[in-house]
Amino acid sequence: MFERYFCARVTTRLQAGPHAVHLERFTAYLHHRGHSRLVVQAYVRAAELFFRYLQRSRRHLCSVTEDAVRTFASRRRKTQRPRASTHAGLRLLLCCLREVAVVPTRPIEMPNSIRSIIMDYDAHLREVAGLAPATRSYRRRYACEFLRSVFGSGPVRWSRLRAEHLQDFVSSYGRTGRWAAAQVSACALRNFLRWLQFCGRTGPELIAIVPHIPRWRLAALPPVLSGNQVATLLGTFDRSTHVGRRDFAMAVCMVELGLRVSEVAGLKLEHVDLATTTVRLVGGKSRRNRILPMPRRVYQAILNYIRDGRPLTTDAHLFVRHRLPVGLAVSRELVRGVIRRAYATVPGCGPLTGTHILRHTAATRLLGAGADLKRIADILGHKSIDTTAIYAKVDMAHLTAVAAPWPTTDKEVGP
């Protein structure tokens, strides 16, 4: 791999060094990420100098942390011209070495007294509750924040938990008017306390103390985009470019099929059957597989992206990155960013930031086309039809047919 990016003299020097194996592995890592020739040369040179620095300091490679990288990068900036590439390249070096377990995995930033509790709780959420990774992530975050708010960095003593600790934690999210965040924090805290009770660390009385934030599920209509807004949204993507074809295909999957962000990011090539024009969704939030027919617009968008847009990569995911690291699967954050930037160009959608409104729009369009709630629930992957019942409120045609006339009288009523 050295010969691809370096001349014979530099290749000989790199191969003769004590860390030749790691440097060659790092070169291959940068190559597969899609970096340019000059960037690979700069990053490998920074790694070579960093290895020499560790050797002079008599530090073993397994003890390297982000602090050592920052210290080395700051010293080079003091003695030479500012080089942001040094720090960036060494961060990638750590990622490369962590993949092969040469450098320990980056520890979770939390006190040691709390880390073991959170890791046990996460194992319970994964193996017993079977929750999705995104749900486990925010459950861990709220549990960690609660423990830090009560115990700080000191030892965890369950006997010190008081009612005011629970109430103060939940109310801290509601003081700024974020009732939705307060509701989520209360739910997460209640689940964490149930696990503590299951482990015999606390009693059931603490669970009852957590405040209940009132929420009426059917009190409001689901937000949806109008037909003109959907057309404008899909028209913002430049389908003459590879990235535009990818972004358009992802948006169409959300508008036409009502896919969640995680489902779009998790789609693989093997899940798309162009011969039968179906797409198979594996697992997901409901942990159930389902097969959906692809409308013509979805089929054409995916076909155009696969044929003329998707870069050559060994990654099995359907939608991949077109920027560094090229060819890796898109993340949920990338999909959200694509839709958020599209919102900014649609009249009336500027304040929108979430993507779930596209799922509501897909369900409303299906209902308007004559689909019943059971069929919509199957398409969206709802376990219970009660979850889909909210869309019955937007079916104005049927609601008008069953609405009773408002009682009137011919007799005038005086003041």
Q: How far apart (Å, rounded) are the C-alpha atoms in residues 95 and 112?
A: 23
Q: Which residues contact 362 (CB under 8 A, 6 or more apart)?
A: 254, 255, 256, 257, 258, 380
- Are the C-beta atoms of 160 and 147 separated by less than 8 Å? no
What's the CA angle centered on 150, arms 149 and 153, to 5 degrees?
Answer: 80
Q: How far apart (Å, rounded) are the C-alpha atoms in residues 119 and 117?
A: 5
Q: Which residues contact 284 (CB under 8 A, 6 or more apart)?
A: 132, 260, 262, 263, 266, 381
Chain-centre distance for alpha carbon 137:
10
The dihedral over CA atoms of 164, 170, 174, 180, expressed in degrees to the nearest 10, equals -160
Question: Mind telling me the catalytic residues?
Answer: 260, 285, 356, 359, 382, 391
Q: What is the 3-state secondary structure (H, E, C) of 26-74?
A: HHHHHHHHCCCHHHHHHHHHHHHHHHHHHHHCCCCHHHCCHHHHHHHHH
How far is CA 259 from each of CA 16, 40, 57, 236, 289, rounded to the nearest angstrom? 53, 38, 53, 20, 13
Q: Burial of 193 by CB count in 10 Å (0-12 exposed, 13-18 middle, 19+ buried)?
A: buried
Q: How far apart (Å, rounded) are the C-alpha atoms in residues 64 and 210?
A: 43
C-alpha distance across the termini of the chain, in Å: 92
Q: How far apart (Å, rounded) are the C-alpha atoms in residues 295 and 27?
A: 44
